A and B are shown apart, each in its own frame.
Chain A
């Protein structure tokens, strides 16, 4: 089983986000970076599938800055066999642009499936995996919570509206991971040692063009200070009155 997993380096979800001086990006001071959590889930599932199959390899693909070597090594420590680092030169962004860079570097390689996280937790577009699938002419199943692959077929459980769909698809195909698909493992000491020796293919990637420009990044609008209505159940009637007469939501 040859599996590709695309990962992204993102600020940790506990990080405080401050807008940088240029007003277009975030201030990196004090921000820890991690593999985007849904990508970690996709990676864990790929490693589990490969381990169960007893053959093949998991290749991690990361479009990111030079610093993303840290996240790539982390992915290798979690069980990926090798990596492709598409070095991000910076510049304009957008899901179409990023997906084009990924697709251009995947095309022509041999694989049974490509796994993505359902979304990165910085751009929040939920788009790159689906666009890559279209650009490569592959079928895609999003929001996957369970996945099996055998005999050239993938069977996925998908979190659809109002129920779980069981979707069957011919491989090669693209899947995007939803929470529940797998629990990412902590790398073992052995895994971390081995990761240092695993190969990383480095490719200078072009600046992606998503046909859009991020003009400005702003802090979110502040919420007006609220009020403590009172303490304990005695405060309930006052709260209900406020919800009804002031907020008009019940």
Chain B
């Protein structure tokens, strides 16, 4: 029996970036609960990664390793997690509030009839109760929620929790679990993957985001933002106005009706800062705003601002930052 069971995501033969955050926070909470930390890996050929989870703090690693787990599907992965719960009997189940975690957390909550604490930004244990803080209304308010089910499921917002440091030489026993999943059990079948993107990170997991707003005047002007993103190793975002105008794709939208992000650095270019945009990025660690209007609301949340024309400022900024990286 473990105090905490952590679902650790893998991708392309590696633990995902979120793994260190999930195991770091899982380990801390296991200590608070006076117990151990189990990790569970699900995928094809993931047994080889169990050692990595041990180095990041897991006391035992459960692996569901089979071809049927090659592509993510709720049906198959849920069975693996249910089996892992049966083996581990955790008080608390943690996973990333990623695209995958947002499918699996709720599915497991249904299967285990457990409280689901979704997309949380802090977790505390006191008097045997799990209590979390969770932004609601896209961050316009924060709810403190206490759970009362025997097992509690929490999905942790990416980029918020302190990552575990790798300890070389640390190892954990590995236990193979058989979830008994057959290919015929899968009801939703992925037929193909279109426009398979590069190794591009999802916005919610990116460390640095460069977002453009209506002040960019048109989609043809995005080149300077792309160069800036490239110079800082960032990912592109956009305001709702820009997405509604069809200048940029939906998946780049940051805000209450888009993605909620908390990167290390958020650079808002020619974005005035409508309330629904601010809601989606105000938890960023450092915010830079570049805007011609010194009265723009974006400057109220920005750590650093430059009042000026994006077309003049951005290329210089990209060049300075590029020189820095070299």
Interface residues of A (CB under 8 A from B): 11, 13-14, 16-17, 19, 26, 37-38, 94-96, 99, 121-128, 130-131, 133-135, 139-143, 145, 155, 157, 159-170, 173, 178-180, 210-221, 223-224, 226-233, 235-237, 239-240, 242-244, 247, 249-250
Contact B141 A219 (CB under 8 A): yes
Contact B282 A179 (CB under 8 A): no
**Which DSSP category, helix, strand, loop or mixed, fits chain A's interface?**
mixed
Task: State whether the Cβ of B230 lies closer than 8 Å to any Cβ in chain A.
Answer: no
Interface residues of B (CB under 8 A from A): 11, 72, 74-75, 78, 98-100, 102-103, 105-107, 109-111, 113-119, 131, 134-149, 187-200, 202, 208, 232, 243, 249-251, 253, 255-258, 260, 264-265, 274-276, 279, 282-283, 285-288, 294, 299-309, 312-313, 316-317, 320-321, 324
Given the known inter-chain contacts A126-B102, A232-B313, please indicate yes or no for A167 contacting B110, CB distance below 8 A: no
Known: A124-B260, A126-B119, A130-B103. 13 other contacts (CB 8 A): A96-B110, A99-B110, A122-B136, A123-B136, A139-B187, A145-B250, A162-B196, A167-B188, A212-B147, A212-B149, A217-B143, A223-B300, A232-B307
Contact B307 A228 (CB under 8 A): yes
Which of the listed residues A131, A133, A233 has the most CB atoms from chain B within 10 Å of its own CB? Answer: A233
Residues on A with C-beta less than 8 A from B294 are: 228
Residue of A nearest to B187 (CB): A139
Contact B109 A96 (CB under 8 A): yes
Could you name 29 residue pairs across A and B whose Cβ atoms are closer than 8 Å? A13-B256, A17-B140, A121-B257, A124-B118, A124-B137, A126-B118, A127-B118, A160-B72, A161-B11, A163-B193, A163-B194, A165-B190, A166-B194, A168-B188, A169-B189, A180-B250, A211-B113, A211-B115, A214-B143, A214-B145, A215-B145, A218-B144, A220-B135, A224-B303, A226-B287, A227-B304, A236-B306, A236-B317, A240-B324
Min Cβ gap A225→B in Å is 8
Contact B256 A121 (CB under 8 A): yes
Choose among B75, B194, B202 the residue that contacts A139 (Cβ–Cβ < 8 A): B75
Min Cβ gap A68→B in Å is 18
Contact A239 B306 (CB under 8 A): yes
Contact B107 A125 (CB under 8 A): no
Give the number of residue pairs across the A-B interface with Cβ within 8 Å. Answer: 277
Contact A179 B258 (CB under 8 A): yes
Residues on B with C-beta less than 8 A from A155 are: 191
Contact B190 A167 (CB under 8 A): yes
Residues on A with C-beta less than 8 A from B302 are: 226
Contact A227 B305 (CB under 8 A): yes
**Which DSSP category, helix, strand, loop or mixed, fits chain B's interface?**
mixed
Min Cβ gap A246→B in Å is 9
Residue of B nearest to A165 (CB): B190
Contact A247 B286 (CB under 8 A): yes
Task: Tell me the complex Cα distance, A243–B290, Å.
Answer: 14
Residue of B nearest to A122 (CB): B137
Given the known inter-chain contacts A142-B103, A233-B316, please indicate yes or no for A249 contacting B264, CB distance below 8 A: yes
Residues on B with C-beta less than 8 A from A140 are: 74, 103, 107, 188
Residue of A nearest to B260 (CB): A124
Residues on A with C-beta less than 8 A from B138 are: 13, 121, 124
Task: Tell me the complex Cα distance, A237–B324, Å.
Answer: 11
Contact A226 B303 (CB under 8 A): yes
Shortest Cβ-Cβ A-B pairs, 10 listed: A134-B110, A139-B187, A127-B106, A130-B106, A17-B140, A232-B308, A211-B149, A211-B115, A216-B144, A179-B250
Contact A210 B140 (CB under 8 A): no
Residues on A with C-beta less than 8 A from B109 are: 95-96, 127, 131
Task: Tell me the complex Cα distance, A124–B149, Å.
Answer: 21
Task: Tell me the complex Cα distance, A202–B243, Å.
Answer: 38
Min Cβ gap B298→A in Å is 10
Contact A160 B147 (CB under 8 A): no
Contact A161 B136 (CB under 8 A): no
Contact A163 B116 (CB under 8 A): no
Contact A210 B115 (CB under 8 A): yes
Choose among B106, B251, B324 the residue that contacts A95 (Cβ–Cβ < 8 A): B106
Given the known inter-chain contacts A163-B197, A211-B115, A250-B324, please indicate yes or no for A231 contacting B135, CB distance below 8 A: no
Task: Tell me the complex Cα distance, A226–B289, Å.
Answer: 10
Residues on B with C-beta less than 8 A from A229 are: 304-306
Residues on B with C-beta less than 8 A from A218 are: 141-144
Contact A167 B191 (CB under 8 A): yes
Residues on A with C-beta less than 8 A from B306 are: 228-232, 235-236, 239
Given the known inter-chain contacts A134-B110, A215-B146, A229-B304, please indicate yes or no for A95 contacting B118, CB distance below 8 A: yes
Contact B188 A169 (CB under 8 A): yes
Which of the listed residues B136, B275, B294 has the most CB atoms from chain A within 10 Å of its own CB? Answer: B136
Residues on A with C-beta less than 8 A from B309 are: 232
